[in-house]
Amino acid sequence: MRYNSLLYFTQYLLAISFNTMESGALAISPAEYSATVSDSTTQKPPAVTAATVDPVCTWDGAQVFDDTTWTPVASYAYNNYTGPVVGPNLIDQDIMLMVNGLTVEEKVGQMTQIQVGQIIDCNGKLNTTAVEYWIDTMKVGSFLETPANHGGKYNWYSAKRFAEITDAVQAIALRRGSRIPVIWGLDSVRGANYIKGGTIFPAGIATAATFNPQHAYDAGRVAAKDTRAAGVHWAFAPIMDLSVNKLWSRVYENFGEDPFLSSLMAKSSIGGHQGDYKRDRSRVAACLKHFIGYGYPFDGSDRANRHIATHDLLEYYVPPFKAAIDAGSATAMESYGAVNSESVVLSKYYLQTLLREQLKFKGMLVTDWAEINTQATMYHTAKDVKQATQTALQRTSIDMSMVADDESFIKVTVELVKSGAVSERRLDESVARILQLKKDLGLFESPYADPQLASTVGSAQDIEAARNTVRESITLLKNTNGVLPLKLSERVLFLGPTLNSTRYMGGGWNVHWQGPSDKEGDAVYQGFGDTVLQGIQAVTGAAPQYLLGIDIGGTGTIDVDKITSAAQSADKIVIGLGENTYAEEQGNIDSLALPWQQLNLVYTVAAATKKPVVVVLIEGRPRGLANVPKIADAIVNAYLPGAYGGLPIAEVLYGKVNPSGRLPITYPATEAQASSTIWQASYSAYNPQWEFGYGLGYSNVTYSNVTLSSSSLTVGSPITASVTITNKGPYPQKEPVLLFTRQQYRLGYAPEHYRLRDFIKVDLAVGETKTVVLNLKAEDLAFWDRDLLRRIEPAPVNVVINPHVHKGLVAVVQLDADPDHVLERAPWS
């Protein structure tokens, strides 16, 4: 690693001269340490131009567009790291010396994260007086979020403008307070979605639909680069909750409902965000979140209690997090709310026993927004903030409190330590992890933004990477009589609110947390995006015939006469349906159904025109479609494709791209199926609208000759499953090949309907035949029982290829194992 030798040699010389502290450790005082930092960083501090005193308020609060302009480079080189996993490890000696040199107040400050709105003045600009208060007086070591969400002047900050703020804060941090660089965190969830012009990739659910983990890597890598361009070093991503209850407002963020698919996507995303992050200064620290069980709120509302047996938690919900930890995730974020009524943020089992001891996570753990304080103010799991803070520190391994808005954590924690209720050693453990993270990210040598990275924000190279993800994610759900693809010679009428909107393609984590407001509309993108209609014009060379039909909320009435008149000359009709961006009241829903008037637009148009109808869904979760699947001739699910989704959708509609996405979730047919999953008990009926893994293409791909390399499956002896696939045309096809297992019986424990065990996506030219080989291990079929033992029950196992697309090609293998042989034991507490 490229550490500054002068800095650390100076630390060593200083250390040997100071008095020893607890346990006889050497220490470096903050004052002496600060001198080495300010003298030896490889970057020079920027000029601070923000006001240094609280200004007179003259701003009316109406945000404006950031007028920063730049010409993004068309392409750029980057380090595609392929070496050993780089992740958190042991704490370096110089970091321990640094920890021992801090006062209690300084240690607690390092453990505190404050949202940027606390340092934005009433005119929407950086208030350096406030910065100095938080850093000098309160010793805060971390900030988060974008000013755009918290009173900033601009509604979408360019990397340059954002860096002016982060650099100014960093300059103050290096000369005031503890004189330690701050670490800034940002929800760069799908690209650097909070940075103006940063390429917004498809949502997690769409990325998972590609069944190609490379796309998760690409999104993470671009997110890291653009985030770092703004002087931010830490991305709160990837999000890897299992999306079980489809009512949940955050289904779109995650990689679907399947543990294996989510695990591979999470691993790849961590690699993209971090790479060789201890050397590569275009990468950031990733953050696995939300640990744990967040995606199964019992009634679908955000933060609702999750009823998940511990052995089910280990079997289904933990694997993606384990994959992220094994991939080297530098940080983790605990989950909102409670599992089995036990508050996660106060749980020794979840945040110490499970996360640290069983899963061996060595990185830095942060709370979600104000989650310690809300134990007293919202969940009623603590008497007051003091009790919540003390419990969190004593029971868990939380390192940083995203307290966000006030000094409560700082004041309470200092009081707890000085009274002896919490040991200073407990602080040292967390502060060491925090400072080690700062060192690993190079903040002691390069604390400021790299202006050269700003020229790559919005690069054509990045936009094409995002569009390639969309191209492979779009899922064809129905195509009666080959209605799709459309022909250039056909006259097509386009209807519906989602076809002429960039922001509806984005959903959440899209300029703002819940997307642009109605007032901002598409104008906020300032050209960094497209629409489906613009994509259609690019593909066809002509402006499409378009009518709104009905607004996104389904209000107003449908002008049947106007639509019928326009449809008279049309050969086919394409209708775009979907969700609005999630305002707070729209995020939580009581019904999966889309607004009735959106659905009625399909019914009305089909009945009045008698023309073939194609429905394009742009939605963050599977919404109820009532009779639309019966009435529509073709249905395409584009999920939330992001700001550049318009062209790929048009390419799929017109056959320039052959759809190859597969559903990463179960698409319910009824409200009662909201929590149905591919891995539910096999004796429970599984008859959704569309199954997990379902999806069609425009080509006729046939499967045959499924063979296993062995008729028995034993621990330590993996086998392969081979299948022959042929593309009979008429288009080239990217074909996801999915291997599932279904155990015929399992003593004492109901086997799942299906479990995904392996998959690969292959390219097939027209007329090409390939033999695809997939892998299966006996260990894959081990399961966690109620005694928290991971073991195998012998039985015949059906090995099934693409059961919901090609009716399933089945081979049977005998799972041979000693049922008393325990592969793994989980600690109870």
Beta-bridge partners for 614:
574, 634
Tokens read off for 40: 């030896």
Helix (H, G, I), strand (E, B) or coil at 634: strand
Query: Pick the catalytic residue: 241, 368, 428, 758?
Result: 368
* Interstrand relation of 364-366 and 401-404 (parallel, antiparallel or unpaired): unpaired
Helix (H, G, I), strand (E, B) or coil at 180: coil
Alpha carbons 374 and 367: distance in angstroms, whole number: 11
First-last CA distance in the chain:
38
* Residue 257 dihedral angles phi and psi, to the nearest 5°: -105, -5
Output the CA torsion sign for 98, 103, 106, 112. positive
| Residue pair 115/143 in contact by the 8 Å Cβ criterion | yes
Alpha carbons 243 and 804: distance in angstroms, whole number: 20
Tokens read off for 447: 């604390």
Beta-bridge partners for 575:
495, 615
Tokens read off for 709: 């390399």
* Residue 595 dihedral angles phi and psi, to the nearest 5°: -50, 135
**H helix or E strand, kind and range, residue 343:** strand 342-343
625 contact partners, CB below 8 Å, separation of at least 6: 594, 599, 689
Label residues 607-623 b or e (16+ Cβ within 10 Å = b).
eebebbbbbbbbbbbbb
* Interstrand relation of 401-404 and 112-115 (parallel, antiparallel or unpaired): parallel
Alpha carbons 812 and 777: distance in angstroms, whole number: 14
DSSP 441-496: TTTTT--S--HHHHTTTT-HHHHHHHHHHHHHH-EEEEEGGG--SPPTTS-EEEES
Alpha carbons 321 and 343: distance in angstroms, whole number: 19
Output the CA torsion sign for 648, 211, 240, 449. negative
Label residues 296-335 b or e (16+ Cβ within 10 Å = b).
bbeebeebbbbebebbbbbbbbbbbbbbbbbbbbbbbbbb
Active site residue 462: no
DSSP 25-84: -----HHHHHHHHHHH-SSPPPP--S-SSPPPP---S--B---------S--------SS
Indicate the length of the chain as a whole number.
Answer: 829
Tokens read off for 25: 């450790």
Alpha carbons 599 and 40: distance in angstroms, whole number: 64
The number of angstroms, rounded, from the C-alpha of 135 to the middle of its chain's C-alpha atoms is 30
* Interstrand relation of 795-801 and 733-743 (parallel, antiparallel or unpaired): antiparallel
Alpha carbons 588 and 245: distance in angstroms, whole number: 12
- Residue 52: CB atoms within 10 A of its CB come to 12
Active site residues: 368
